[in-house]
Amino acid sequence: MRLNKIVFLMSFLLLIQFLNGQNTLNKKNISYGHDYQGFSKALKKYFTIDDVLLSVCLYRETIILQTFSKDSLNCINSKDYRGFPKNVQVEDVVEFNNHVYLFYSTLVHDDSLFEEKLYLKEINVDSCRFEKTKLLMKVDGNVTAILSMQDYDNFDFCSSLDQDRFMVQYKKKKKMKQPVELGYKIFDRDFNLVWEKEIEMPYNGFQMENIDFAIDAQSNVYLASYIFRNKVSNLFRDNKGPARRVTERGAINYDLEIFKIGIKTGNFTKSKIVLDSGYHINSFKFFPINNEQLIGAGYSSVVGRNDKFHQTSGVFKFNLLDKERKIDMLPIPTDLVNQNLKKSKVALNTSLSRRYGKYFKPVLKDLVPENMILEKDGGMILIGEQQIPIERHYVVPGPGVIVYSSTQHMLYNDVLISKFNTDGSSAWMKKLAKRQETTNRIDFFGLQKRGLSFKLVEGEKDLYLLYVDQFKNLKLPSDKKPAELNDDGNHGFLTAYKINRTTGAASKAAILDVQQIRGLRTNNFNISGINTFQKDQFLFEGYYNNEDMSEAHLRLTNVLGFLTLVNLK
């Protein structure tokens, strides 16, 4: 026991000495609100309406609405509501036209009727109450979300940039061998139906994987999909296995196609997106920028011999609304890829480059586009992150038996930041090296990152990427691999990576220990709970256990919460 205390004390003293020589945020830049009843383990979404922050929580069988003052950081209202019965699916909570709505669906299934219904409840932010329920739409038959790979929710939502139109999309549940049937309904600001269409696609469920959708200023609908070329042979070589993007031999087995559904005609056109010779798309996302620019952007791979697929080595973007589509492409510099890698990996990259020439380039694996920013000078900044699904296997010994188990995890690693000039050339490119691992879970808000990944905060002159990291990585040399952070971000330092929007000049600073906030031992910090409502600032909820609360008062939880406001300037 004494040895453990000595080790802890030495570690603490080393941490203090380390931080004294670091670039850390001034404590005067951090403000706190008063305590209130907190719900640290609830599924939450946050919205800023005028001067109020709204929190929508699902905790066990209860829905909790809480409002906070952005000026005082104090809780204004907190209301509990009984949750939905088991036959109701909560779809999402969405802000539209400066209002917040909770969407949920029910499936009616009896001898004479098979019907899916979608409802909405408006949340009155002033009174912290639900308004009357409205039946938004009915669909004959059973449906599922177009983009959902887990068939967990039933509808996807999207709105135009001017908040004049609200779109709902869904997919009819059919056998995989049948053609995919998609449905679209578009509503005005008062949720009156203005257009609807159900479309049978030219591919079946085995042939297409839908990855993103968008709506333009004229309410035309766009859907991006991976279209598989062939099924993949299974172990018995009978060519009846499911389609995959890459074959067992590493060959490319898909193309990216974009479907445009015209609101005036109701018909769709499709186009295959082809990059320059030698490159192939491996991730993609829509970014509506303004009425004239609907940007498609992502990452591409160099294609090796015999059409062998390699991981990300390039960045691309294009405007879908241009009459003549021009694709801008940027190679990822080798020096950037090799930054913060093991020396053995750098040596291997160098050796393979010499051996295969143009057929090999050092890569950043599994980059996913997350944010696109339009700059005042007309340039664009694309931010992506390595998001790598893995499976961890465990052996659990028991009395006379050994149990094998596995869990799904996700690695959230390096972040790549790329700025395009107005002519499509490269202004600058930066890599933020980090290593994070978490377990995945699915809930009604979609895939939860459980405290890891990153959050973007925009400033007047700078961008800030916030993430949780180990303190030993604060002064990380460019030739060293970062230490990994796990435990779902429940420990470590909230760190800000600051990037100048014009030059790309970067620096890194520690903000606070996520387990020691306001002098309290805090818990359940979640990076996805960070909210922005003003340039160069962000706020989040902190939680700590109320040790003085007796068992008689544990109605929902013994956790207290408080708001924390951080000024990054």
Q: Which two tokens stand for residue 174?
A: 């059919």
- Mean per-residue pLDDT for 74-100? 91
Q: Can you give the pLDDT at residue 445?
A: 62
Residue 533 has pLDDT above 70, yes or no: yes
User: pLDDT grade, residue 493 (50/70/90)?
Assistant: very high
Residue 49 has pLDDT above 80, yes or no: yes
Q: Can you give the pLDDT at residue 10?
A: 46
User: pLDDT grade, residue 186 (50/70/90)?
Assistant: very high
Q: How far apart are CA 296 and CA 288, in angstroms?
A: 9
> Residue for token digits 């790598």?
388
The partner residues of 184 in beta bridges, in order of sequence, read: 169, 197
Q: Can you give the pLDDT at residue 303?
A: 85
Q: How far apart are CA 475 and CA 453, in angstroms?
A: 20
**Which of these, 333, 342, 391, 393, lies nearest to 364 by C-alpha position?**
333
Residue 237 has pLDDT above 80, yes or no: no
Q: Can you give the pLDDT at residue 446?
A: 60
The partner residues of 144 in beta bridges, in order of sequence, read: 171
Q: Can you give the pLDDT at residue 359?
A: 75
The 10 Å Cβ neighbour count of residue 535 is 13
- Mean per-residue pLDDT for 200-216? 93
Least confident of 99-108, 228-237, 243-252, 301-310: 228-237
Q: How far apart are CA 415 and CA 387, in angstroms?
A: 10
The pLDDT > 90 percentage for the chain reads: 60
- Mean per-residue pLDDT for 293-320? 89
Q: Can you give the pLDDT at residue 100?
A: 97
Torsion of CA 516, 521, 526, 532, to 10 degrees: -60
- Mean per-residue pLDDT for 3-8? 46
User: pLDDT grade, residue 257 (50/70/90)?
Assistant: very high
Residue 77 has pLDDT above 60, yes or no: yes
Full-model pTM: 0.90
Q: What is the mean pLDDT of the chain?
A: 87
The pLDDT > 70 percentage for the chain reads: 89
> Residue for token digits 């960045």?
315
Alpha-carbon Rg for the chain in angstroms: 25
Q: Tens digits of per-residue pLDDT, 7-48?
A: 444 444 444 444 444 467 777 799 999 999 998 877 889 999
| 341 close to 481: Cβ distance less than 8 angstroms | yes
